[in-house]
Amino acid sequence: MEQPVNQPLQLDITPELADGTYSNLAIIAHSLSEFVIDFARIMPNNTRAKVKSRIILTPEHAKRLLLALQENIIKFEQQHGKINLHNPSMPILDNGDM
């Protein structure tokens, strides 16, 4: 359902969700009809990561998320400077096809 152009979207959020969940790892998998992103937390010197949240998106919404992240990273870097990756050789973790 699309919002009328002149009306801003209003979000309701519970106090529990407003606190957020920290994640330092995301694992992405996809099928023909959906993308699954598991947000996890891994502690130093540990080989197990605990999934804290799973988000399931349609391919169209996954692409919208990608574009929104790109736009926001550009704005962030314009205001605060380039984001440096501390370990650029670290592979992107991707489960690929489900």
At 73-88, the pLDDT tens digits run 999 999 999 998 887 6
Please report the pLDDT score of residue 92 as a whole number.
58
Q: Domain for residue 76, yes or no?
A: yes
Please report the pLDDT score of residue 96 as a whole number.
58
Q: Domain for residue 12, yes or no?
A: no
Which residue do the tokens 């959906």 mark? 34
Identify the domain containing residue 47 by its residue range. 20-83
Which residue do the tokens 């891994």 mark? 42
Please report the pLDDT score of residue 82 as a whole number.
95
Predicted structure pTM score:
0.76
Please report the pLDDT score of residue 76 as a whole number.
97
Q: Domain for residue 70, yes or no?
A: yes
Q: Domain for residue 67, yes or no?
A: yes
- Between β-strands 94-97 and 49-57, what pairing exists: parallel, antiparallel or unpaired? unpaired
Q: Domain count of the chain?
A: 1
- R_g over Cα of the chain: 16
Q: Which residue ranges of the chain lie beneath pLDDT 70?
A: 1-5, 88-98
Asked whether the beta carbons of 96 and 35 are under 8 A apart, the reply is: no
14 token code pair: 């519970």
